[in-house]
Amino acid sequence: MNRRKKIVAGNWKMNLNSQQVLKLMQALNRSEQEFDCDVIVFPPFVYLVDVIDFANGGGRISVGAQNCAATENGAYTGEVSPAQLADIGVEYVLIGHSERRIYYNENHSFIADKLKCSLANNLRPVFCCGEPQIVREAGEQLTYVKQQLVESLFTLKTEEIGQVIVAYEPVWAIGTGLNASAEQAQEMHTFIRHQIAEHYSLAIANEIQILYGGSCKPGNAAELFACHDVDGGLIGGASLIAEDFLNIISLAH
Ligand code: PEP
């Protein structure tokens, strides 16, 4: 056992309408289930204020944004700054999700800027990394993820890195129903922790929570969460269904 508290985080992506958000939050708030882990939800921007209100009512769910700007403020039409998110009560932000890297061409240095800007505005980043299928097939996943770490995450100072949560999300597992095996997840999570230890310190590496994401479901969460270096999950599809999300939460302790 390690001392790290587990986290179960739900990435709702561009799903749900206001009625569905209400139903989901009511189900999460009303459940009598004890939470032994930290629970975070990442709703679409337009529902953040409502979800923060619901979450405050229940008192046991934190709220994050799925994205943020890389700059403090100014003429960036359509962007939302970390300061604005923090201002309405958002505590976390997803940075470097593969969907943003792939569909919006977010590169390492842009992701590094977002990390710095969110930390400077008291938002805790969940830094997502992970290899595409072609890289896994070539057996190059460790080198690939190392580059993501070095070029974005490791640009942070020692005093900043402790605020970050890492999420290992193999791209081939996201939304495909094909999760990484416990062995594959553990191998990568240990690798990431070693890299953090080498770059910063063993003490820092041992504190940082590293989540697994990619088709994590009630049926596979227990095995994944039992891995020594897996500190919980970032859940996409299954976080939209209250029963499944609560089930996964019950497996994180
Ligand atoms: C995600 O996109 O962060 C994710 C883990 O999605 P899914 O659980 O649907 O694979």
150: pLDDT strictly greater than 80: yes
Could you tell me the CATH number of the domain that includes residue 233? 3.20.20.70
Contacts of 143 (CB under 8 A, 6+ apart): none
Q: Is residue 1 part of a domain?
A: no
Please name the residues in contact with 22: beta carbons below 8 A apart, sequence gap of 6 or more: 50, 54
Q: Is residue 63 part of a domain?
A: yes
Q: What count of other Cβ atoms lies within 10 Å of the Cβ of residue 211?
A: 27
Nearest ligand 1 atom, CA 13:
2
In this structure, is residue 144 part of a structural domain? yes
pLDDT in tens, 169-201: 999 999 999 999 999 999 999 999 999 999 999
Residue minimizing CA distance to atom 7 of ligand 1: 236
CA of 214 to the centre of ligand 1 (A): 5
Residue 2 lies in a domain: no
User: Is 189 domain-assigned?
Assistant: yes
Handedness of CA 231, 54, 236, 89 (dihedral sign): negative
Considering the domain boundaries, does residue 54 fall inside one? yes
Summarize the confidence of residues 202-207 as an average pLDDT.
98
- How much of the chain exceeds pLDDT 70, in percent? 100
Q: State the residue range of the domain holding 154.
A: 7-250
**% residues pLDDT > 90 (the chain):** 97
72 pLDDT more than 70: yes
Any idea which of 2-6, 8-12, 149-153, 221-225 has the lowest mean pLDDT?
Answer: 2-6
- Provide the pLDDT confidence category of residue 143 given band limits of 50, 70 and 90: very high
Beta bridge partners of 9: 40, 234
Mutate to test the pocket of ligand 1, among 92, 169, 230 (most ligand atoms within 8 A of CB): 169
The verdict on the CB of residue 233 being under 6 Å from ligand 1 is: no
Interval 79-104 mean pLDDT = 98
Q: Is 94 part of any domain?
A: yes
Question: Which positions are catalytic?
Answer: 97, 169
pTM: 0.97
* Assigned domain for 177 exists: yes
Structural domain tally of the chain?
1
**Cα distance between residue 180 and residue 70, in whole Å:** 31
Question: Residue 155 corresponds to which tokens in the numbers above?
Answer: 């640009």
133, 178, 234, 247, best to mutate for ligand 1 pocket (most atoms within 8 Å of CB)? 234
